Amino acid sequence: MTMSALGEPCVLLKLGEVVLKGRNRELFEMRLRANIKAALKDYPVDIRQRHGVIALFLPAGTGVEVAEAVARRVSEVPGLVLIHLAWRVPKDPESVTKAALELVRDTDEVARKARFAVRSRRRDKRFPLRSIELDRLVGGAINDTYGLPVDLSDPELRVNIEVDRDEVFLFTDGRPGQGGLPVGSSGRALALLSGGIDSPVAAYRMMRRGLRVDFLHFSGIPYTTSESIYKAYALVRNLDRFQGKSRLWVVPFGKAQQSIRNSGHDRLAVIAQRRLMLKTAEEVARRIHAEALVTGDSLGQVSSQTLTNITAQDHAVDLPILRPLIGLDKTEIMAEARRIGTLEISELPDEDCCTVLAPRSAETRAKIEDLKQIEKRLDAEDLASQLADSIRPYKLDA
């Protein structure tokens, strides 16, 4: 690519749901810009917002490789729907046309004689050509130079031109963003993170709804090894790229599990230990000022995840329990885990605290009164407080 014709590389970010927020929109946009700045702390970018588009300007002379790295990194920030590697060119029709020809020249579409269209948007009405006139000028030059056929209804190649206040932006296709809302715009939640496939996806989904998510992992220590902790740590490291500054705590839960198993209600052990986990998580959430708990429950996915049992779990705590996967099947959850990069980690072998001491068969219609009797013998409220006292923080590497 000829830098003199294409000008300087930059990155354009298109907002999604944020633009629908009415009077609160400015607060969401401020949070989004702060998240972008934090994600790009290693890059010297100038962040500017105009008309629902955020432009990331790089220092003069920056190579396209750096711009591409910025685009990849910011594509992981929730709240954005499209990320375009763009080029800034002077605001005159001749410069725009030359840059568009240069932009198209090395694309695969030229070799394939692909159908194309030019889409212009004139934000600055002082520009001498209207949008349709600019489309015709640039489109005609591309057609004459490369012989590409025009297709305005279903083009294979789109050349986008946006005339802004100080410059013109040119770009072709973009990479998809995460969508959703900026992390931190909806509050804070605590996710119960196992080493499995579901809970990381549930945490990610709540990040996309604007929640800042902290993580609580229950280890079977001393009856299991530390493998599940390593997996939890790896999962949080992976998920951290969507929000930054993630926090992980680990609860040594093995002895509490054994006490539940020794209570004499083998079929209720799964639900009883789940309620104790929630009670412990609620106590931790209170200490870190989280407003909700997040779990990876999916209705009917395993025998214990019946509506009756889920209701019995809700009854254990006062905080709301968010279950973003409740209506998804395993195939859908695995597809999302694969997309966000957690599936490979989740499939690593480990000794999970929820399975090592699990009974051969679990109750599918647990009665709350029976569970309360178990908790009374265990003094569950006090035990949950003790477990919360025993949590160990795990810092992510910078």
User: Looking at this protein, which amino acid is placed at residue 330?
Assistant: K
How far is it, in rounded angstroms, from Cα 300 to Cα 241? 31
The helix, strand and coil proportions of the chain, stated in percent and rounded to the nearest 5, come to 45, 20, 35
Strand partners, 157: 116
What does the radius of gyration of the chain's CA atoms come to, in whole angstroms?
26
**How many beta carbons lie within 10 A of that of residue 118, not counting itself?**
26
How far is it, in rounded angstroms, from Cα 271 to Cα 274? 5
Q: Which residues are annotated binding-site positions for ATP?
A: 192-193, 217-218, 274, 296, 305
Strand partners, 188: 212
How far is it, in rounded angstroms, from Cα 245 to Cα 241? 9
Q: Which residues are annotated binding-site positions?
A: 192-193, 217-218, 274, 296, 305
How far is it, in rounded angstroms, from Cα 207 to Cα 376? 36
How far is it, in rounded angstroms, from Cα 88 to Cα 223? 60
Q: Exposed/middle/buried for 220, CB within 10 Å: 0-12, 13-18, 19+?
A: buried
Q: Is the dihedral of CA 171, 172, 178, 181 positive or negative?
A: positive
**Helical axes 269-288 vs 368-378, angle rounded to 10°:** 70
Strand partners, 82: 14, 176
- Size of the chain in residues: 398
* Whether the Cβ atoms of residue 29 and residue 49 lie closer than 8 Å to each other: yes
How far is it, in rounded angstroms, from Cα 284 to Cα 275? 14
How far is it, in rounded angstroms, from Cα 62 to Cα 378? 63
* Whether the Cβ atoms of residue 200 and residue 130 lie closer than 8 Å to each other: no
C-alpha 52, offset from chain centre:
21
